């Protein structure tokens, strides 16, 4: 069996300040997470882009030890909810009785 270690972009627990995005990106790229934080801080000061980038990364990057991101979990939960309810009212309790 071939096993290999591939780098995966994940939000980390180690070095986390808010959600682990910067520490995860820093670990993936191989640079200090503080440089990522400084870059996001600067982009936040000049137009607010840093906050949006951070928020999107937080939603799309899986946390360390997980295979799915927050968005993937929400989409999957929504799909399960739709598959579980066939009626437009959300459940079987509103079906007309014969």
CA dihedral 14, 16, 20, 21 (to 10 degrees): -110
Q: What is the pTM of this model?
A: 0.67
Q: Is the model's pLDDT at 25 over the cut of 70?
A: yes
Q: Residue 72 and residue 89: Cα distance in Å, rounded?
A: 25
CB–CB of 18/70 below 8 Å?
Answer: no
Cβ–Cβ under 8 Å, residues 69 and 59? yes
Measured between alpha carbons, how far is 11 from 36 in angstroms, rounded to an integer? 13
Please report the pLDDT score of residue 64 as a whole number.
Answer: 86
Confidence of residue 83 (pLDDT cuts 50, 70, 90): confident
């Amino acid at each position: 069996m071939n096993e290999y270690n591939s780098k995966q972009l994940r939000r980390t627990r180690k070095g986390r300040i808010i959600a682990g995005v910067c520490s995860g990106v820093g670990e993936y790229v191989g640079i200090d997470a503080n440089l990522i934080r400084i870059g996001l801080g600067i982009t936040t000061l000049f137009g607010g882009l840093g906050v949006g980038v951070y928020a999107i990364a937080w939603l799309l990057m899986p946390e360390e030890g997980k295979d799915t991101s927050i968005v993937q979990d929400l989409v999957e939960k929504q799909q399960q909810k739709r598959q579980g309810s066939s009626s437009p009212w959300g459940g079987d309790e509103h079906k007309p009785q014969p």
